[in-house]
């Protein structure tokens, strides 16, 4: 892993450093924050950066730094798990479709096309209206929303690999579908799917942040970075750090992941020789 990072271009190293920083904050932030995320620590609201409170205070006098360090775990871990579920499910279904009969492949593909035609935000709003907003619901919504996209990428890769000579040889010698999918096809599409996983993570971060900005994401007393922007929006006119800092945090997370993905683009290739 360290050797891989050393071989990255400068942009990739910057992305890896920022991503590592936010993962560290998501894991240890609640334990390292100077105050409780729910504690009102000052009488003055929207205090500026510096002084007793490093990033100022929010709209009711809570420490912004503590709120940020507590909310980062929701902005990092929910999208991470949702992207993992979406990519894993999409890849597994694509592998099954690629080694199945053409009719089965067509049926699965048409179903996924129907799902992908539904805008993710519209789907999220309908599901939240029906089932309410909670972390398990948000996780399920985002995973289902982005699974069809992961399926389409994985299927396109898997079908190409399934038509290669080494897979034909394995099929001729009597290997079963499970062997073909797991041993022959999956290793040759793994790198591109890892890159796609990074993109899905960014999509989920942006979707959850937009839902939280509308008040439909992570619910109080918990808050992710999108919620911090929404609840402090009244301070935007005076450039309050309480609204600017969480917005910049979301931007740094998404940009850093994109930089890291772009640096791995050269590895997202596959061939029979990779076996």
Each residue of 222-249: pLDDT tens digit?
889 999 999 999 888 888 899 999 999 9
Average pLDDT over residues 43-70: 88
User: What is the predicted pLDDT for the residue at 176?
Assistant: 85
Question: Tokens in use for 184?
Answer: 């022959």
Question: Tokens in use for 84?
Answer: 């993992």
pLDDT band at 272, cuts 50/70/90?
very low
pLDDT surpasses 60 at 266:
no
Average pLDDT over residues 139-163: 93
Domain total for the chain? 1
CA dist list (Å): 185 to 155, 171, 192, 270: 11, 12, 12, 10
Dist. CA 35–CA 42, nearest whole Å: 11
User: What is the predicted pLDDT for the residue at 93?
Assistant: 95
CA of residue 243 relative to chain centroid, distance:
22
CB pairs under 8 A, 24+ apart, for 13-16?
Answer: 13/263, 14/256, 14/259, 15/255, 15/256, 15/257, 15/258, 15/259, 15/260, 15/261, 15/262, 15/263, 16/256, 16/260
Average pLDDT over residues 202-209: 92
Give the total residue count for the chain.
275
Least confident of 3-12, 83-92, 123-132, 235-244: 3-12
Helices (runs of H) and strands (runs of E) counted in the chain: 11, 0
User: What is the predicted pLDDT for the residue at 265?
Assistant: 60
| Between 4 and 168, the higher pLDDT residue | 168
Which helix (H) or strand (E) element contains residue 200? helix 186-213
Dist. CA 69–CA 72, nearest whole Å: 5
The DSSP annotation for 232-245 comes to TGGGGGGT-HHHHH
CB-based contacts of 4, cutoff 8 Å, min separation 6:
none
Main-chain phi, psi angles of 34, to 5 degrees: -70, -25
pLDDT surpasses 70 at 28:
yes
Dist. CA 192–CA 213, nearest whole Å: 32
Q: pLDDT over 70 for what percent of the chain?
A: 94
Average pLDDT over residues 153-167: 91
Instruction: Write out the residue range of the structural domain in which residue 184 sits.
Output: 2-274
Contact 228, 71 (CB under 8 A): yes
Question: Tokens in use for 131?
Answer: 């089932």
Least confident of 7-16, 116-125, 265-274: 265-274
Write the CATH number for 31.
Answer: 1.10.3720.10
pLDDT surpasses 60 at 271:
no
Confidence (pTM):
0.85
Q: How high is the mean pLDDT of the chain? A: 88
Contact 173, 256 (CB under 8 A): no
């Amino acid at each position: 892993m360290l050797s891989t990072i050393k071989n990255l271009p400068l942009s990739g190293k910057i992305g890896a450093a920022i991503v590592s920083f936010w993962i560290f904050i998501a894991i240890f932030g609640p334990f390292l924050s100077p105050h409780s995320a729910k504690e009102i620590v000052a009488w003055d609201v929207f205090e500026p950066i510096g002084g007793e409170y490093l990033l100022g205070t929010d709209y009711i006098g809570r420490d912004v730094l503590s709120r940020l360090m507590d909310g980062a775990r929701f902005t990092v871990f929910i999208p991470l798990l949702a992207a993992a579920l979406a990519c894993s499910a999409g890849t597994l279904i694509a592998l099954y479709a690629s080694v199945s009969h053409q009719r089965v492949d067509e049926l699965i593909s048409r179903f996924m096309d129907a799902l992908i035609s539904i805008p993710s935000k519209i789907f999220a709003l309908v599901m939240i209206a029906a089932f309410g907003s909670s972390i398990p619901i948000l996780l399920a919504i985002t995973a289902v929303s982005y699974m069809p996209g992961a399926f389409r990428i994985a299927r396109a890769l898997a079908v190409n690999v399934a038509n290669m000579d080494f897979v034909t040889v394995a099929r001729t010698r009597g290997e079963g579908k499970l062997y073909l999918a797991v041993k022959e096809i999956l290793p040759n599409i793994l790198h591109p799917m890892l890159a796609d996983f990074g993109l899905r993570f960014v999509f989920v971060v942006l979707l959850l942040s937009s839902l939280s900005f509308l008040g439909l994401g992570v619910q109080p007393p918990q808050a992710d970075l999108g919620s911090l922007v929404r609840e402090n929006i009244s301070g935007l006119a005076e450039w309050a750090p309480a609204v600017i800092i969480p917005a910049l945090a979301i931007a740094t997370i998404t940009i850093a992941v994109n930089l890291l993905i772009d640096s791995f683009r050269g590895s997202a290739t596959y061939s029979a020789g990779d076996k």
